[in-house]
Structure 1
Amino acid sequence: MQSIQKLRPEGLVRSPAFSHVAIVPPGASTVYLGGQNAVDEHGTLIGEGDAAEQARHALRNAKAALAATGTTFDDVVQWNVLLVDGVDINSVYAAIGPELASDEPPLVCAAIVSQLGIPGGLIEISAVAALAIDWDTDCQNTSQRFPLAASIVARGVAEYLSEVCRQVGLVGIAEVHGQRSK
């Protein structure tokens, strides 16, 4: 399994808060997290006027949304943070920094904006996450959970490979489940 690499190249500022480059291996699943802010499940703004509280709540929302995809903060490749002009950036980072601390931090893009789409909202965060796939483990888990489906797929693959080999004249090359193509 290839893992996602987060790099902090020499010659660029080194920060424990962010990396500069991320490499996502082929076959990884990409998850896009839309803007999360400090609203609860009823659409009510939490932490009116308190950027740190809004940041903590936005992060809780982000965690819940990512969990629905099977990803966590460790899988985040890049965070995008929008802060309303005048917000104390240090209080926001102090509020959410400990939750996001990592030996391999993700990329971070922050911007100061005049306002957000939620009246009274002071922060909004979005992210891109990637989940590297361990084909051996994931396929084995799938075949254990769905043995009939795995058997049907395996038979289909064996028949397909046998037919391809016959068509291109490679008789006897494809061996699947102990049967040679004819």
Structure 2
Amino acid sequence: MTRLTHLGSPDGVAPGNGYSHVVWGTGRFVAISGQCAFDEAGEIVGVGDPAAQARQVFENLRRCLAAAGATFDDVVKLTYFVTDVAHLPAVRAARDAVIDTEHPPASSAVQVAALFRPELLVEIEAFAIAEDPARSR
């Protein structure tokens, strides 16, 4: 498992709610492109349903992380793009189902005018630091 350090509240900074202000570690850097609520066939899951879309997005992120030899425990930063900040509780619920809420990654949330398809409500990108196979030998 990657060694990560989470700092929830640096001196002089108000504590984060559900995120760490600073996360660092050693290993291989992994960048996961923004994921949307597409299933394996490229069909949108949960049209009009931010909770269903968020769950699918996190499933897609899980699969992308696995392809890089990583898990949600290795994620150091999540960036949420939502078409309405009212969708954030659904996104947080889906996030909390897959991350260690005691040591959450850093995060940013941005409301955008639109995503690249009008049916999409949520897009999330991730940065992780995965175990470096060369160092584990």
> Which bracket does the TM-score occupy, shorter chain normalised?
0.7 to 0.9
* Alignment-derived partner of residue 13 in structure 2: 12
Match of 2:81 in 1: 82
Q: Does residue 95 of structure 2 align to residue 96 of structure 1?
A: yes
Task: Tell me the SS of whatever aligns to 1:22.
Answer: strand
The residue aligned with 2:107 is 108
Structure 1 residue 51: deviation in Å?
A: 0.4
Q: What's 1:162 paired with?
A: none
Superposed CA RMSD in Å reads 2.2
Q: Is the 8 A contact 1:16 1:105 kept in 2?
A: no
Look up the SS of the partner of 1:100 in the other structure. Answer: coil
Question: After TM superposition, what 4+ stretches of structure 1 lie above 3 angstroms from structure 2?
Answer: 132-136
CA distance in 1, matches of 2:51, 2:118: 17
Deviations for 1:94-142, whole angstroms, at most 9, x for unmatched residues? 2332322332111001100011113300000001000244866x22xxx
What secondary structure is seen at the aligned counterpart in 1 of 2:62?
A: helix
Aligned to 2:32: 33
- Residue pair 1:51, 1:87 contacting (<8 A) in 2 also: no
DSSP-derived class of the 1:120 partner: coil
Any conservation in 1 of the 2:73–2:100 contact (CA below 8 Å)? Answer: no
Aligned length: 136
Aligned residues: percent identity? 35
Cα distance change on mapping 1:132 and 1:6 into 2, 3 Å:
farther
Letter in 2 for 1:24: G
Q: How has the CA–CA distance of structure 1 residues 69 and 90 changed in structure 2, closer, same or farther, with 3 Å as cutoff?
A: same
The residue that corresponds to 2:63 in the other structure is: 64
Partner of 2:118: 119
Q: Deviations over 1:26-68 (max 9, x none)?
A: xx20000001110011111000000011000000000011001
TM-score (norm 1): 0.67
- Do the aligned residues in 1 keep the contact of 2:80 with 2:109 (CA within 8 Å)? yes
Distance 1:47 1:72, change over 3 A: same
Q: Distance in 2 between matches of 1:111 and 1:6?
A: 22
Which stretches in structure 1 are left out of the alignment for 5+ residues? 140-182
Give, in angstroms, the shift of residue 84 of structure 1: 0.5
Q: Which protein has the bigger helix share?
A: 1
Post-superposition Cα deviations, 1:62-82, rounded to whole Å, max 9, x if no partner, equal: 001100111000000100110
Larger-gyration structure (1/2): 1
TM normalised by structure 2 equals 0.87
